[in-house]
């Protein structure tokens, strides 16, 4: 996907830069725009709105925020996510300083587990219910809905193997989309069983697929040796046909794990969360055990995964904990959430307009306006003014562009009378307000009064 660009045609002298944002990244600007690949990039106000809805849902589910650095030791991610995964073997933005190797985080689960262990969060007592929103980095081939810097929001519930934690995580994930008005999503569900299940299933799958090796694509043939479970994700019809008779992971799952899975499903039924069971849903990260899930939407095209997650009871030990920390979480792509909002035709609130725009006429008025504006702001009003010394006409044009419901024009007469003409833009009505009453008047009229 080409990098994003936007041009203002406000004057014939269009500014340009030698530099462009890096391919697979994008700028979030005060106005929404369409990038060169035809994707609408939401405005910063829209991002802010969506983030505040996410925070609100997270708070209602009693989660607390965690923020971890955007770079981590390579070994944490390699061990946590898994050496053989696409993420670690192909998609890491890695760099070195001195003897230490770092990566820009490709996901947040392993970093959250690191922070949980490092800061002994288990000592806070009970289950730690954490959420995050922030950038992640994967050197994937950019396309619609797939970026090199993207943003995830997600949750991690650490310190419980209770199946209700699994159901609550899924319910929380669905609640975010519901709060934003998105429907028509499909939830797919599977269990990967406990530690040994994956290993024995991997062997069984390899044995089953080996005789078909010549019929597999180059990618799948390579995966057959290194990571045969990834072949289950194939989009090729012929490979899907071969897989129809392949062994199912559920046949390798212990009775306990099966019971855990059944209980998760019962809770989801109780919550009226509908799902499709998908025995081939293994997910692209190695830390999963037991419940895994993915939320997809047809509206997204090729990159149909809105969100995914699952249980990762063995990750803690993988990154050095002396004992397991049962945990479950999900993560979702913000960019794909915006695509789903667009596809559903859901409009988000834009930036708030200023309460008042104050235009100044002449040097003395400019000085008075400049300091008065700061007083009005200190009183709680959102106030705009011109910082370019432009003509009154240009200032009024700017006031209109900014959609301020009230405008004031201050010139020599107003200074002499110590009173301003306050114009309500919607009605065109104009009233005179003495300077010393101005703050209270504007606070009351704009609904900002205490």
Residue 166 tokens, joined: 């699994």
Comparing CB distances to ligand HAM, the nearer of 140 and 162 is 140
DSSP 311-345: E-TTHHHHTT-SS---EEEEEEEHHHHHHHHHHTT
CA distance 16 to 36: 16
Comparing CB distances to ligand HAM, the nearer of 295 and 438 is 295
146: DSSP letter? B
CA distance 406 to 425: 6
Starting at the edge strand found earlier in the chain, the sheet holding 327-333 runs 64-65, 128-137, 149-158, 327-333, 305-311, 289-296, 186-191, 276-277
Stretch that binds ligand HAM, among 180-188, 250-258, 333-341, 362-370 (CB under 6 A): 333-341
CB of 369 to ligand HAM, least distance (A): 46
CB of 80 to ligand HAM, least distance (A): 9
Site for ligand HAM contains 333 (CB under 6 A)? yes
CA distance 393 to 406: 16
Site for ligand HAM contains 80 (CB under 6 A)? no
Site for ligand HAM in 335-364 (CB under 6 A): 335-336
CB of 306 to ligand HAM, least distance (A): 6
The residue within the footprint of ligand HAM, chosen from 107, 168, 239, 386 (CB under 6 A), is: 107
Q: Which of 51, 61, 1 is nearest to 25 (CA)?
A: 1
The residue within the footprint of ligand HAM, chosen from 58, 229, 307, 438 (CB under 6 A), is: 307
Comparing CB distances to ligand HAM, the nearer of 286 and 398 is 286
The residue within the footprint of ligand HAM, chosen from 331, 385, 420, 422 (CB under 6 A), is: 331
CB of 305 to ligand HAM, least distance (A): 4
CA distance 162 to 433: 64
Site for ligand HAM contains 329 (CB under 6 A)? yes
Residue 46 tokens, joined: 């829209």
Site for ligand HAM in 23-42 (CB under 6 A): none
Angle (CA) 219 83 136, round 5°: 90
Site for ligand HAM contains 111 (CB under 6 A)? no
Starting at the edge strand found earlier in the chain, the sheet holding 71-73 runs 71-73, 100-104, 94-97
Comparing CB distances to ligand HAM, the nearer of 306 and 415 is 306
CB of 59 to ligand HAM, least distance (A): 19
CB of 301 to ligand HAM, least distance (A): 13
User: CB within 8 A of 203, min separation 6: which ones?
Assistant: none
Total residues at interface with ligand HAM (CB under 6 A): 27
CB of 333 to ligand HAM, least distance (A): 3
The residue within the footprint of ligand HAM, chosen from 70, 305, 379, 443 (CB under 6 A), is: 305
Site for ligand HAM contains 326 (CB under 6 A)? no
Site for ligand HAM contains 88 (CB under 6 A)? no
CA distance 112 to 136: 13
CB of 107 to ligand HAM, least distance (A): 3
Site for ligand HAM contains 172 (CB under 6 A)? no
Residue 7 tokens, joined: 């041009």
CB of 172 to ligand HAM, least distance (A): 12
CB of 435 to ligand HAM, least distance (A): 53
Q: Which long-range contacts (CB under 8 A, 24 or more apart) does 255-261 make?
A: 256/194, 257/191, 257/193, 257/194, 257/197, 257/290, 258/191, 258/193, 260/161, 260/163, 260/191, 260/290, 260/291, 261/191, 261/290, 261/291
Stretch that binds ligand HAM, among 194-202, 268-276, 330-338, 377-385 (CB under 6 A): 330-338
159: DSSP letter? S
Comparing CB distances to ligand HAM, the nearer of 110 and 404 is 110
Comparing CB distances to ligand HAM, the nearer of 128 and 372 is 128
Site for ligand HAM in 139-158 (CB under 6 A): 140, 145-147, 150, 152, 154, 156
Site for ligand HAM in 272-301 (CB under 6 A): 284-285
Residue 25, CA distances (Å) to 2, 72, 264, 321 in order: 10, 20, 38, 35
CA distance 148 to 82: 19
The residue within the footprint of ligand HAM, chosen from 306, 369, 384, 415 (CB under 6 A), is: 306
DSSP 43-93: PHHHHHHHHHHHHHHHHHTT-EE----SEEEHHHHHHHH-TTSHHHHH---
Binding map of ligand HAM across residues 199-228, x = CB under 6 A, - = no contact: ------------------------------
Site for ligand HAM contains 51 (CB under 6 A)? no
Number of H helices, E strands in the chain: 15, 18
| Site for ligand HAM, rule CB under 6 A | 107, 109, 138, 140, 145-147, 150, 152, 154, 156, 284-285, 305-310, 312, 329-333, 335-336
């Amino acid at each position: 996907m080409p990098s994003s660009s936007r041009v203002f045609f406000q004057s014939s002298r269009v500014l340009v830069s030698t530099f462009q944002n890096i391919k697979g990244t994008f700028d979030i600007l005060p106005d929404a725009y369409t990038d060169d690949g035809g994707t609408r990039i939401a405005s910063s106000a829209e991002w802010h709105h969506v983030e505040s809805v996410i925070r609100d849902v997270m708070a209602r589910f009693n989660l607390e925020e965690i923020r971890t650095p955007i770079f981590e030791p390579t070994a944490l991610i390699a061990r946590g996510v898994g050496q053989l995964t696409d993420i670690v073997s192909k998609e890491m933005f890695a760099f070195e300083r001195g003897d230490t190797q770092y990566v820009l985080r490709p996901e947040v689960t392993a970093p959250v587990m690191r922070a949980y262990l490092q800061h002994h969060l288990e000592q806070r007592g009970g289950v730690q219910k954490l959420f995050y929103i922030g950038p992640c980095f994967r050197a994937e081939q950019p396309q619609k809905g797939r970026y090199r810097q993207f943003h995830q929001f997600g949750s991690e519930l650490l310190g419980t193997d209770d199946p209700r934690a699994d159901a609550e995580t899924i319910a929380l994930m669905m609640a975010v989309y519901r709060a934003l008005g998105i429907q028509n999503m499909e939830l797919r569900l599977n269990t990967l069983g406990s530690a040994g299940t994956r290993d024995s299933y991997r062997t069984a799958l390899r044995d089953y697929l080996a005789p078909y090796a010549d019929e597999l694509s180059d990618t799948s043939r390579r995966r057959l040796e290194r990571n045969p479970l990834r072949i289950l994700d194939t989009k090729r019809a012929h490979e899907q046909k071969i897989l129809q008779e392949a062994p199912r992971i559920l046949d390798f799952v212990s009775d306990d794990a099966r019971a855990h899975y059944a209980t998760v499903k019962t809770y989801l039924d109780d919550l009226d969360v509908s799902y499709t069971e998908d025995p081939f849903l293994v997910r692209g990260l190695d830390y999963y055990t037991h419940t895994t899930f993915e939320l997809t939407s047809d509206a997204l095209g090729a990159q149909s995964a809105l969100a995914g997650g699952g249980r990762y009871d063995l990750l803690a030990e993988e990154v050095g904990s002396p004992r397991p920390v049962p945990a479950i979480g999900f993560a979702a792509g913000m960019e794909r959430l915006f695509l789903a909002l667009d596809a559903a035709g859901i409009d988000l609130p834009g930036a708030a307009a200023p309460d008042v725009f104050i235009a100044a006429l002449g040097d003395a008025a400019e000085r008075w306006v400049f300091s008065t504006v700061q007083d009005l702001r200190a009183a709680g009003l959102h106030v705009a003014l011109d910082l370019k010394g432009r003509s009154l006409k240009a200032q009024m044009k700017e006031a209109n562009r900014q959609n301020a419901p009230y405008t004031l024009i201050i010139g020599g007469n107003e200074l002499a009378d110590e009173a301003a003409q306050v114009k309500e833009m919607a009605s065109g009505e104009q009233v005179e307000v003495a300077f010393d009453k101005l703050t209270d008047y504007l606070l009351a009229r704009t609904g900002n009064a205490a």
